[in-house]
């Protein structure tokens, strides 16, 4: 199963039934690989992820899960390909490692709900973190951003099975794009990319998925002020966005969008943008 664990897209011979015809062809599938995160030699969690941009994932996950408070507390990352998957060895400061050992929990396989394996209810909700208020985004750029997003999702174009997180600058240009089978992992990869030293921080982030509670929580941890989602927003996500001072926008498609919180960062909002 994991013979091609380094490949992002794999091919498989299939039988296609279409109307009254049957044919043999080759389909392209998004690869789904076990990725273990190991901190200072101790296994922390196993995720199912696309096997690309794994260093960015390690950085983003470590920051967004608040295992460390800043990137300088990550001392080293090593990616090891093994027989049944991939191991990412992450070295963090001793202080952070002591804190991690006190709060360790099993979080295996979070592709779906994002909270599977959490042992205690309190583990699911981190302390509220508020973001700054200086970001501004012109909503006139949204239509072109959505068109660009569609063109730039190369893995989705091949497989139809991946999510993407895109970082946008103040001109509405896509400066980062990361794809993964897991929507929260795509966001972690994006966070890892712009958290590096001297990297440009996006003014806004666009998700091709829904915006759930965990996605907003990760955005707050990374200081993301504006979060767009092409799909729906959950009630808990909207509540957290309000408390975290995040501008949360859902159903971004076909020239419209629903603004759920803190619309003050959005300029020249075009009808029929709706404030919920």
Which residues are annotated as catalytic? 113
Q: Strand, coil or helix: what is 60?
A: helix
- 256 in a known ligand binding site: yes
- 269 in a known ligand binding site: no
How many of the other CB atoms lie within 10 Å of CB of 253?
12
The 10 Å CB-count burial string (b at 16+, else e) for 221-240 is bbbbbbbbbbbebbeebbeb
- 251 in a known ligand binding site: yes
- 5 in a known ligand binding site: no
- 254 in a known ligand binding site: yes
Distance of CA 140 to the CA centre of its chain: 25
Peptide bond into 272 cis (omega under 30): yes
- 253 in a known ligand binding site: yes
- Going through the chain in order, the beta strands assigned E by DSSP cover 9-18, 21-30, 33-39, 42-49, 74-82, 85-92, 137-138, 163-168, 174-180, 204-207, 226-229, 247-253, 256-261, 266-267, 274-275
How many of the other CB atoms lie within 10 Å of CB of 104?
15
- Tell me the backbone φ, ψ of residue 36, rounded to 5 degrees: -95, 135
The C-alpha atoms of residue 100 and residue 61 are separated, in whole angstroms, by 13
Question: Which residues make Cβ contacts (< 8 Å) with residue 193, sequence separation at least 6?
Answer: 53, 56, 60, 167, 176, 178, 199
- Tell me the backbone φ, ψ of residue 253, rounded to 5 degrees: -165, 155
Bind-site residues: 251-256
């Amino acid at each position: 199963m994991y013979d091609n664990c380094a490949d992002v897209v794999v091919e498989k011979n299939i039988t296609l039934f279409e109307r009254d015809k049957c044919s043999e062809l080759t389909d392209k599938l998004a690869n789904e690989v076990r990725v273990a995160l190991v901190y200072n030699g101790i296994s922390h969690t196993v995720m199912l992820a696309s096997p690309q941009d794994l260093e960015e994932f390690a950085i983003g996950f470590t920051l967004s899960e608040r295992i460390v408070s800043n990137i300088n507390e990550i001392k080293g990352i090593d990616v090891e390909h093994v027989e049944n998957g991939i191991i990412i060895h992450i070295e963090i400061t001793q202080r952070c490692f002591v804190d991690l050992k006190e709060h360790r929990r099993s979080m295996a396989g979070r592709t779906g709900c994002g909270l599977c394996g959490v042992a205690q209810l309190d583990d699911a909700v981190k302390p509220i973190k508020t973001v700054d208020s200086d970001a501004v985004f012109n909503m006139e750029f949204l239509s072109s951003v959505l068109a660009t997003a569609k063109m730039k999702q190369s893995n989705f174009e091949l497989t139809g099975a991946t999510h993407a997180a895109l970082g946008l600058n103040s001109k509405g240009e896509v400066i980062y794009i990361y794809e993964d089978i897991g929507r929260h992992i795509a966001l972690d990869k994006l966070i890892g990319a712009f958290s590096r030293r001297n990297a440009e921080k996006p003014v806004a982030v666009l998700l091709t998925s829904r915006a759930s509670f965990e996605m907003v929580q990760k955005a707050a941890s990374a200081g993301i002020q504006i979060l767009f989602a092409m799909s729906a927003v959950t009630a808990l996500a909207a509540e957290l966005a309000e408390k975290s001072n995040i501008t949360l926008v859902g159903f971004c498609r076909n020239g419209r969008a629903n603004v759920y919180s803190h619309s003050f960062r959005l300029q020249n909002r075009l009808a029929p943008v709706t404030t919920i």
